[in-house]
Structure 1
């Protein structure tokens, strides 16, 4: 599917939204977050629903609308989903939901429904976020008119690009970069990845840079170091690392952030992302201080002859609570 050209601005007079609010949704592996968008392009009345409680996006959207009771029925919708979007049929990667875009549009009574990859929505938000919505982690100034790489761990590892066209518009490019092969850059990483290769036929970046990936790394690191695991879930590993009560948990988290640096550096080189690299997802902002103290930036820049090239590229961590809503809002106004 050819990515759309998008102008990142609401209609000047609000006429496009006069008939009713826009309905937006960020659908991931665990949660579906809904909101309405008014003529000003600002999302409001957001709610988070558990995907497991509903058969699909139609049922979840109806439950959301029944709760917030907008004064007028939405006529336009924009959903982002954590999976490839190549046509009418959508199948979530880490979620059993399967749906037709057209059937969903009809069931919800919408005139238009746009469905994009979740990191396309995140990428579209990047130029619209303020300095208060991000934290700089090294690098120099972004180069205007150059691509921006967007990636981040959550339930999975999302990756997208934002390519300016030079005429005030951008092309958001969805990728499946989370499934590239994860390389080892030192002996400890090699030992951990070797253990994971016994479990998985392909150790992708997402296998080690995500919520489930943190568990995989922790368990493999415990095996390498010959200790019994003391935590079983990503949240517990993160808590023990954050509280300073478990050095293995801390090493696992730093290992994941270092691997994220390797993948982000590879992406920046491959895409020419002199416009900057933006880190999103729920994990990094939650552990921001540990992230800044981790090997991320060193691994990001460790590309031999191109160290200086990467040292100049700024990396921002987005702290906005729902950046995808910012990107989706521009698709319904």
Structure 2
């Protein structure tokens, strides 16, 4: 990918005393890298396919050798932070949706960094939420945010990420959540049928099994089985494309079911956290659905909580439209780490 840069709000160009910092956002499909060359100035953004590299270290080293990095004129990178789609509970990290595994300390030594922070990707994304501008998010439905209230975050891509921000006297605390792996809860007879089909493949059907890229493919197969329609071996991207193009009724029904299921997960998160500050939708799938998501049953399902329907009607829901928001969050986490070092 061609190198890009972004300026995070508020605009700052103050030099960083400790030198440039490496930032990374690692998903199950793509590894995104960038350099923070000054406070709030993120440059040399490159997206590498995870499948093209045997290890994260190999991808990181390849990025550091790219012309875009050299073009910044920055050398002597000593500090870095990685947001990764995986639980981070100790030194060893084993990705859930990709084969990479590594020791944080061994990786730090391999790339000769003084500091290497590794955090869950949705923890990093959550940290970016208060800094998103109006142009970097799109509201779906009604509701008005309550200032100083908790924020919720959920996003579907290769997997299903969940996090949140809890306010405190010293600022926000990002949740280290693996909420995408909660047990899937069907909300109607059709979703019961989808769940029953999924049980043929998985003993435990988590929310992530259905609300993700591979989940779209599973929903498609389940609906084809339920309606006695032939199912083609379609990837999630093709299912979405056909749905958006109006070429396939079954594909459109698949996307509709996906959006409604996401509405259930989002509303569960809202009432669990008391997220009256709003629920944010991230991940790689929903932003690409555009107006189809707006007119889907997502928001109606979000508010369909019986006695708590009125409560949820007041909670706003936003789709994150910023291209690389996780960089903003992981930058903030690294800055805090270096400040107390």
TM-score category, normalised to shorter length: over 0.9
Partner deviation per Cα, 1:12-43 (whole Å, 9 max, x = no partner): 9946x234210011111111110000222221
Distance, in Å, in 1 between the alignment partners of 2:124 and 2:211 is: 20
Contact 1:28 1:82 in 2 (8 A): yes
The match for 1:55 is 54
Partner deviation per Cα, 1:153-181 (whole Å, 9 max, x = no partner): 000000011111133x1111121111111
- Aligned runs of 1:217-296 on 2, under 5 Å? 217-296=219-298
Number of equivalent positions: 323
- Aligned runs of 1:160-239 on 2, under 5 Å? 160-167=163-170, 169-239=171-241
Note if 1:100 corresponds to 2:91.
Answer: no
The match for 2:317 is 315
1:141 to 140, 144, 151: 144
Contact 1:37 1:332 in 2 (8 A): no
Decide which moves more: 119-128 or 105-114. Answer: 105-114
Greater relative contact order, per chain length (Cα 8 Å cut-off, separation 6+): 1
Give the alignment's Cα RMSD to 1 decimal. 1.7
Shift of 1:9: 9.7
Look up the SS of the partner of 1:203 in the other structure: coil
Distance, in Å, in 2 between the alignment partners of 1:125 and 1:175 is: 16
Shift of 1:195: 1.1
Look up the SS of the partner of 2:270 in the other structure: helix
Distance, in Å, in 2 between the alignment partners of 1:39 and 1:18 is: 9
Shift of 1:55: 2.5
Distance, in Å, in 1 between the alignment partners of 2:232 and 2:54 is: 35
Q: Please, which runs of 5 or more residues in structure 2 have no aligned partner?
A: 1-7, 336-341
Distance, in Å, in 1 between the alignment partners of 2:235 and 2:13 is: 49
Distance, in Å, in 1 between the alignment partners of 2:146 and 2:189 is: 35
- Report the TM-score when normalising by structure 1: 0.93
Distance, in Å, in 1 between the alignment partners of 2:121 and 2:270 is: 20
The match for 1:88 is 91
Note if 1:30 corresponds to 2:29.
Answer: yes
Q: 1:281 to 1:184 in 2, by over 3 A?
A: same
Partner deviation per Cα, 1:191-216 (whole Å, 9 max, x = no partner): 11111112110111111100000000
Q: Please, which runs of 5 or more residues in structure 1 have no aligned partner?
A: 1-7
- Report the TM-score when normalising by structure 2: 0.91
Distance, in Å, in 2 between the alignment partners of 1:194 and 1:95 is: 27
Partner deviation per Cα, 1:235-272 (whole Å, 9 max, x = no partner): 11001100001011000000000000001101111111
Distance, in Å, in 1 between the alignment partners of 2:194 and 2:13 is: 56
Contact 1:218 1:249 in 2 (8 A): yes
Distance, in Å, in 2 between the alignment partners of 1:53 and 1:225 is: 39
Shift of 1:151: 0.6
Distance, in Å, in 1 between the alignment partners of 2:95 and 2:265 is: 23
The match for 1:3 is none
Contact 1:231 1:237 in 2 (8 A): no
Contact 2:20 2:35 in 1 (8 A): yes
Contact 1:42 1:329 in 2 (8 A): no
Look up the SS of the partner of 2:141 in the other structure: coil
Distance, in Å, in 2 between the alignment partners of 1:216 and 1:193 is: 10
